[in-house]
Amino acid sequence: MKVGIVGVGMVGSAAGYALALRGGASEIVLVDQNEALAVAQAEDIAHAVPFAHPARVLAGGYEALGGADVVILAAGVAQKPGESRLSLLTRNADVFASVIAGVQSAAPDAILLVASNPVDVMTDVAMRASRLPRERVIGSGTILDTARFRSLLGRHLGVAPQSVHAYVLGEHGDSEVLAWSPARAGAVTVSHFAEQIGAPITEEVRARIDDGVRRAAYRIIEGKGATWYGIGAGLARVVQAIRDDQRSVLSVSISTPEVEGVTDVALSLPRVVGRAGVMETLMPQLDEREHAALRASAELLKETADSLK
């Protein structure tokens, strides 16, 4: 599979590096307005290939994206310390118009995988600008928040995060919803699992995990300026689900016809991801409070996207 990455700062380059290490693509093309940066990143990643899986890694202009199956959009301005993702909107929306035009001139049929923040609104922007079907314009959404949720739950329960099945829904941002009700460890709810091992999930534990998930990006940005390793690995994971037609259930963002009474809004829900893009959307069984929180998140995103239109 040929994968293009537009915007090779920390997130784009981390995605390229993760793809190379995981063997997620046979060819990786890096594109950036800073051509020297793209060349340098491509050469650096290429030097890791002998330690991992065979792949061609090169830099070029938009024309080099010809034949790409997936193009990761990681272009845009970085999030500032203390800045919410939604406040990035006006600074990033203009960047996307020219980027998508360039991508589609070379690879009009590629699945677009959006990583730029605020990712849900930018996914909506990318879909409208590209005029591709909604299932072929995928935002990374809450895939990283979900990984954080599973990691912290696994740590509390003393099990591998891969054995935890829990999702973060809605916005990739402050209004995101940690779906506790349907969360499972193995074949039982996390609350029952926790009771069996003598580590009950109290309100204090919930609050600590919620803060650990919801505030993670802010703490990382405060410490080192941006996040890139986690999301780079998450993007590589989505690409592999597409490449191998895995039909994996991943919490990614696409424009959705209706969620909690809110129409045509891009947000994250568990989605079946395969070769055609998003193939199915699943609605978890939520309690009343979670339903209300998801609706509030959807309304916020809808209002923001509509203001941009």
| Enzyme catalytic residues | 172
| CA–CA separation, 50 and 305 (whole Å) | 44
167, 145 contact by CB (below 8 A): no
The region that residue 225 occupies, defined by phi over 0 for left and psi between -120 and 50 for alpha, beta otherwise, is left
CA atoms of 190 and 90, how far apart (whole Å): 40
HEC profile for 105-145?
HHCCCCEEEECCCCHHHHHHHHHHHHCCCHHHEEECCCHHH
d(Cα 293, Cα 39) in Å, to the nearest integer? 44
- Per DSSP, helices labelled H in the chain are 10-22, 35-46, 89-106, 119-130, 143-157, 190-196, 203-214, 216-224, 229-243, 288-308
| Residue 108: other Cβ atoms inside 10 A | 11
